[in-house]
Amino acid sequence: MSAQAQNQELARYGLPRWRVSDVLWVGAIGIIGGLLYRFVFPAVSAACGAGETQPWSSLTNGVWMLAGFLALGITRRPGSMILAESLAALLSLLLSGQTHAEIELAGKTRMVLHPLVFTGLLQGMGGETIFCLLRYADWRFGVWLISAAGCAWFSYISGIYVTKCYVLFPATVQAGIFLGTFLSTAVLCALPAWWLGRQLFEKSRP
């Protein structure tokens, strides 16, 4: 869609409308992302030493945001990052077969639904915030960087409060984890999503 047609749509409806092809794109990216999250990325991040040498291994954290960013970059539709990221997280959880997790509360252990879907939802929400506030009308690279920062922030925070795996590290390492997650999200996710969106939307097609 050319920039002019996009402006007309925005002026008429206020927001970009969902089309059938957008739904298919988001669904396909969510499903492929779920398969990658389950079968490919764990091996990749293990090979890079994830969980052993924080904060350096957090430089691979960006791969977990890939589905949401690509979906939003390709479709540019409201909610597509949240949908794709939640779908990918849900699928990878179902494929793993471990649907429940233990939490500890004041020394007592309880079983709850596995928080992975929730962290996926949170990462999508963190990344899409700035686009929502700008009414899905601003797609410059700076906005993608803010989006990557939001995503990294929500990912770090859910590592503190939801999965609690970052609580064990001292504050400087935690700051490094946030910075590493932001850098990898910016390079691995925001940059390709920005470039893809530019190719698809800001060049008028013949």
Partner 1 sequence: METSAKSSDRLSSLWFGWTARDWAVVLTCGVVFGLIYRLWDDLYTVMLVKWGWNLAPTSLINWMWFMGGFIPAAITRKPGACLFGESLAALVEVTVGPYTIDVGDFGPEIYRTVYIAGQGYPVFNMVLYVGILEGLAPEYVLGWFGYRRWDWTAWVLAGAAGGLIEFCTGIWMTHYYVFESTWTFWGLLLTSLIGVGVIGGSVTWAVGRIVWRGKEERI
List residues near partner 1 by CB under 8 A. 7, 10-11, 13-15, 78-79, 82, 103-107, 110, 112-113, 115, 118, 121-122, 125, 128-129, 132-135, 137-138, 157, 160-162, 164, 167-168
CB of 171 to partner 1, least distance (A): 11
Closest to partner 1 by CB, 52 vs 109, is 109
Of 68 and 79, the one with the shorter C-beta distance to partner 1 is 79
Rounded least distance, CB 106 to partner 1, Å: 7
Q: Which residues pair with 101 in a beta bridge?
A: 112
CA R_g for the chain: 18
Cα–Cα distance, 190 to 159 (Å, whole number): 21
Cβ proximity of 151 and 130 under 8 Å:
no
CA 24/CA 110 separation, integer angstroms: 38
Shortest Å, Cβ 47 to partner 1: 26
Q: Looking at beta carbons only, is 36 or 136 nearer to partner 1?
A: 136
Q: Is 113 helix (H, G, I), strand (E, B) or coil?
A: strand
Among 14, 64, 22, 13, smallest CA distance to 200 is for 22
Tokens of 46: 């293990």
Give the chain's end-to-end CA distance (angstroms, integer). Answer: 10
Q: Output 46 or 103, the one with its CB closest to partner 1.
A: 103
In three-state secondary structure terms, 26 is helix
CA 33 to CA 5: how far, in whole Å? Answer: 30
Q: Provide, rounded to whole angstroms, the least separation between the CB of residue 104 and partner 1.
A: 4
**Least separation in angstroms between CB 55 and partner 1:** 18
Query: How near is the Cβ of 39 to partner 1 at its closest, in Å?
Result: 25
Choice between 121 and 148, CB closer to partner 1: 121
48 versus 137: smaller Cβ distance to partner 1: 137
